[in-house]
Structures are given as C-alpha cells and as structure tokens.
Structure 1
C-alpha cells in the first residue's frame, strides 16, 4: 500500500500533530501513523472519526481506489474538496503546495474550457447527488493535457450534500482520444417548451436576465432572439455581473431578422433556420437554451393559423431535441382565444410572476405549480 501523502498534507494544513488527530479520532497514535503511512486501512468508523477531526468527509479515504489500475508514466492524481458554492475547502497536489487556492472558485484561479467543464461537473454532482466521471482537457505550457475527472458528492451525517470531492488524474496517454461526453440537463423543471405572456416590461427584463444567468451558471449555450433595445438593456446587466468567458456562451439574434419572413412561418423555414443549427450545437454535447420574442403580423391573412402551426412544429422540435425554449408574447396584443390555443402546444405557461404546467398541453400528463424563474434564482442564491 502507498503512503497517504494527501492525509499528511491535510493534517499539517490544519496545524495538527499525529497525536492530536489520533486523540480526536479515539485511536492511539501508532494506529493513526500506520493509516497515514499506508500500512493499514481504516474501518468506516475510524475513517469517519479521522475525517471529523480534520473537518472533511470520510469518503476521501476511499476515493484513492478510483485511481485507474494502469496509468502511463507521468500520470498523477490531484485531490480536492469544495463546498456548495464551489469554493475549495481542501486540495492536494503530489508535486506542489496549492493550499493558497483554498476559499477560491475555479473562475478566480484560472478560467478556460477545461475549468468551465470542471465547474459544470461539480454542479451536476451537487444537483444529481451521484458520482460523475468525464475526460477533460486543461491547458498546460502551451498544450492541452487530458485528465480523467471523477466527482463524488460529500454528505453530512444527515445525508445532506455539503460539497464535492474530486479526483483529477492527469493522463497524457489520452492525448489521442479526448472524449466528448454529452451533458445532462441539470433540472427537468426547466426543460421543455415554455409560453410567456408578459404584461410588465420591467418584469420581462428580469425574467430574461434570470433565464440567461441561470443557464450560463449551469454551462448552457444561450440563443436569445430579441429586439436590439431589449437585449442591450439586459446585456448591460450581464456584462456587469458575468465573467467575460461566460458571456461567450450567450448568442444574440435580432428578432427583426429572424422573423422577417412573417408570411412564411413554414415548417421548412423552422427546420432550416432553427433545427439545423440546434442539432449542430447539440451533437457536440453542448446543452442549449433558447429565448425568442416572437414577431408576427396580426393583420396578415390567416396569421393565427400560421402562427399556431409554427408553434406546434417548434414544440415537436423542442421535445425531440430535449432543450429548453421560451416563446414570449405581449399579453395585450393577443386575443384571449388565441392565448388559449397557444397553451395547447406549450408544456409550460409563464407569467411575470409564476411558471405553471399548461393545463391544455396536448402531451401533458402532469399537473401542479412549479416555482417562477425568480424564485428558482433566489433559491439557488440562498
């Protein structure tokens, strides 16, 4: 068995002697020394006592068994733990001291495609409560180094998730085969076709901002089809609160251009303009959200019928691709009868203050009320 250097580092970082840890763990110093030297394995009870003494979770003793059975020369493992805010509470690197990163998030240390994936994986572990594993590439000295990353949820004695333990194994042998693993929708509550009838412009701006920031926070690409003035107002808030690399995940389309061929609203136009582009994004494993302020000409002959066919076909696309999509309309511009019609091809109905399952949705088998986007955003912050 190999010496548990990480355990010694953890003990020293806490300013504790072997005697102090042994006393707190209710074992003698000799037994603890054997555990630290790797000549003995602790039982679950002893591992729990040692973990409590060091302020970590006992799973850390068993993460070492997730190391690949055969790694090429140059491979090594970095262990770390973070809290629910994705701030590091402990790190161990086999070759250097990185304790200065304790208390920081990855975006405060170094932000790149690899760390963005790492943050996303940690959030998925917290949200799903299960272990996840993925190969990621991190920049190092001008080249990308592939690493096998495994995340394990950390639980308190009451089985509540309190953070994530990660084991990052540097594996140069994977340079020729970096994997792309499709991401998992983090919360089914926001997956589907949503219809938003807004009444307040200010509330509308808040909902759009929350939809974007929530999506960026969980690693989505955002397609925003909006008027230039509306998007610019939200963009100013985004620039003030998001990292510049996060802003790269937000893609804006002028709705005057997208909905220019109002008279068409054809299935072929939807397939060519929307589904083709969505599929290209999704096939690379990138989760996607869309938001569109729909433009239409009510004076146009058969406008409501064409718009209804448009939304029905969009619902089929959203359902097939498994994405989140919001279609927005000014509640004062649509007659009540057509509002009812649109409820049949949208899974969710959203107002300025709440989000509910559409009671008329053609494929709907559920009922009840789910939180508004504002409440979801607040609960995430809390």
Structure 2
C-alpha cells in the first residue's frame, strides 16, 4: 500500500485551495517531502499525520487504515467503509459500489452524488449521528445501476486527537447479496435432502 498514490489526499488539499507548497509550509516540512506523502512513497509520522488531518479536515486514522491487512481482506467483501466531515461530505471511502469512484466522491455528500430515497435516508442517519454524538445503525435500500441493494449501515462519530467532533465513519454491509447466497444454499440443501430420500 505504501506506493499507491493518495488521490484522496490530493483532492482534499485541492478542495481547501492549497498548493503542495502551501500545505507543506503549514505543517513545517518541505514541498518535496509532502509530495512523497501524497504520491504514496512516504508515510507521515503520527505528529505530521495529525497536523495534515487538522489542516485538511480528515481523520488521522486513514493513514493507518491504508497499511492495515483489512485493506486486502475486504477488497472483495460486500462492505463499504467511509469517513465524512461535519457537512456530511466524504473525506475517504474504501470499496464503493462500482457506480461511484473513490476519488470523485471526496468533498461531496450522498444526495449530491445521487438523489434518491436511499441517499436521503443515509444522510439523515449521518445527521443524527453528528447531532446525538452516538453510534447509530439502520438498514437502507438503494437503487443502483444494476438493481436495488440493501445495506446494513453502521455510523459512528469521529473525534480528532484533541477530542473534538470532526465528522463520522460508516461501515455498510451489503445484505441483498448475503440474502441471495443464503437462498442459494437453502436450495442446494433441499436438493440434497431430495436425493437422500430417493
């Protein structure tokens, strides 16, 4: 993961209107070192990661998540993991549905990406997590280009290193695929029972 370009970081920097030189000056490093962080060649120290997170409004754990084995374990799993800020705009996303690109969603909220009952329900869940400052969970159905998907969505508030609320995180597990797998397994089991009886 260390060599993968951090396109999410580049987009957050551009959303804030900073050049590489400007953000490097703000966190007291030279531009070439910052460039290596953005290009994925370098991993920032914990202190530097916190400074970047403060200036660019994301949660510092993203750097740790990139290096975690869960990245590889979840790549083909029916799960989406994301972070969002207090305006409910994505600051990072992992494994989105193919209708969405992991970089183009940065800086946008769900309704801006696709306005439908599912995205409005998801935004309401996120609003409540921020307002109540506690974890919430809900099953939500979304229309996608290849059909309807139901996700079990868990949202949690996110705090920075100073204990300030900066947004939230969500983990969405696809239920519709799981249901199809269970139905498929049940059909095979009943076929086997029929064969045994004969």
Encode CA deviations 1:59-108: one digit per residue, 9 max, x unaligned: 443454565713339x795745231xx54375766366346746xx7499
Indicate conservation of the 8 Å contact 2:50/2:161, yes or no.
no
- Equivalent of residue 45 in structure 2, options 43, 58, 62: 43
1:82 counterpart residue number: 85
Q: How does 1:1-382 map to 2 (within 5 A)?
A: 1=1, 2-64=4-66, 65=68, 67=71, 69-72=73-76, 79-83=82-86, 87-88=88-89, 90=91, 94=101, 97-98=104-105, 101=108, 106=111, 110-113=115-118, 115-117=120-122, 119-120=124-125, 123-124=128-129, 127-130=132-135, 136-141=140-145, 143-147=147-151, 149=153, 151-156=155-160, 158-166=162-170, 175-177=177-179
The change in CA–CA distance for 1:76 and 1:9 in structure 2 (over 3 A counts) is farther
CA–CA separation in structure 2 for the residues paired with 1:151 and 1:68: 22
Bigger CA drift: 93-102 or 21-30?
A: 93-102
For 2:119 and 2:22, locate their aligned partners in 1 and report how far apart those are by CA, in whole Å. Answer: 39
Report if aligned partners of 2:158, 2:169 keep a CA contact under 8 Å in 1.
Answer: yes
How many residues are treated as equivalent by the alignment?
Answer: 170
Q: How far 1:47 sits from its partner (Å)?
A: 0.9
Cα–Cα, structure 1 residues 96 and 25, in superposed 2: closer, same or farther, change >3 Å? Answer: closer
SS at match of 1:177: helix
Cα distance in 1, alignment partners of residues 101 and 79 from structure 2: 7
Counterparts of 1:40 and 1:167 in 2: how far apart (Å)?
Answer: 27
**Greater gyration radius:** 1
Whole-angstrom distance in 2 between the partners of 1:110 and 1:152: 23
- Partner in structure 2 of residue 355 of structure 1: none
How many Å apart are 1:28 and its aligned residue?
A: 2.5
Q: Matches of 1:4 and 1:76 in 2, distance apart?
A: 21
Cα distance, 1:53 vs. partner? Answer: 2.4
Is the CA contact 1:125–1:164 (under 8 Å) kept in the aligned structure 2?
Answer: yes
Contact kept, 8 Å, 1:122 with 1:151, in 2: the verdict is: no
Task: Answer yes or no: is the 8 Å Cα contact 2:84–2:167 preserved in 1.
Answer: yes
SS at match of 2:149: strand
Whether the 8 Å contact between 1:78 and 1:94 is mirrored in structure 2 is no
8 Å Cα contact 2:50-2:60 kept in structure 1: yes
TM-score where L is the length of structure 1: 0.35
Q: CA deviation at 1:18?
A: 2.0
**Structure 1: gaps (5+ residues):** 179-382
Q: Is the 8 A contact 2:90 2:106 kept in 1?
A: no
Higher relative contact order (CA 8 A, sep 6+): 2
Looking at structure 2, the residues matched to 28 and 150 of structure 1 have their Cα atoms a distance apart, in angstroms, of: 39
- SS of 1:15's equivalent? coil
Q: TM-score, normalised by structure 2?
A: 0.60
